[in-house]
Amino acid sequence: MHPHWRPKILVFTCAALLGVGSSALAQSNLGEFKDAPSGKFTPEDFTMLWATVDAVSVTRKTGTSKSWENAATGNGGTIKLLNVFSTADGRDCRRLRVDNHAKKLKGSSKQIVCAGPDGKWMVDSDARPGPKKP
């Protein structure tokens, strides 16, 4: 995993699990997420979550859904592909529904991820579809 992505992964996961928007997330302290499912996630949980984001995103098929579960922790979730689009500057993006759980904690939100230059997905809540190509 690219070192610059680790903070984005944590932010994405926390936001996704709480269902908070980017403006609310920007105004809050990540310490406030201790009661969110991601506050209970292990590094292996995050690895499984992002592998699932990748597996769903590469399909390009709207409606594709895939679940992940870490048998060692009992944590898991489901990622569903809602939309596939390209931005005006040509970035390949996805809108996802993210449902995760850790023990009795549950969270759900919709997030946008875009492929970086290295092909890895990263959160970009500001990404918007570009004009349709003729």
Q: Which amino acid is at 62?
A: T
Whole-angstrom distance, CA of residue 87 vs CA of residue 130: 4
Residue 129 lies in a domain: no
Residue 29 lies in a domain: yes
Residue 80 lies in a domain: yes
Whole-angstrom distance, CA of residue 106 vs CA of residue 121: 23
Residue linked to tokens 């903070």: 7
pLDDT of 39 = 77
DSSP 133: P
> Residue 66 has which token pair?
């895939």
| Contact (Cβ atoms closer than 8 angstroms) between residue 17 and residue 31 | no
State pTM to two decimals. Answer: 0.74
Q: Please, where are the H alpha helices in 1-134?
A: 6-18, 22-27, 43-57
For residue 47, the enclosing domain spans: 3-123
Residue 133 lies in a domain: no
pLDDT in tens, the chain (134 residues): 444 344 444 444 444 443 443 333 333 334 445 667 877 899 999 999 999 999 999 999 999 999 999 999 999 999 999 999 999 999 999 999 999 999 889 998 899 999 999 999 999 999 999 988 76
Domains in the chain: how many in total? 1
Residue 131 lies in a domain: no
Q: What is the pLDDT of residues 44-78, one digit of tens each?
A: 999 999 999 999 999 999 999 999 999 999 999 99
Whole-angstrom distance, CA of residue 34 vs CA of residue 78: 21
pLDDT of 2 = 40
DSSP assignment of 79-101 equals EEEEEEEE-TT--EEEEEEEEEE
DSSP 3: G
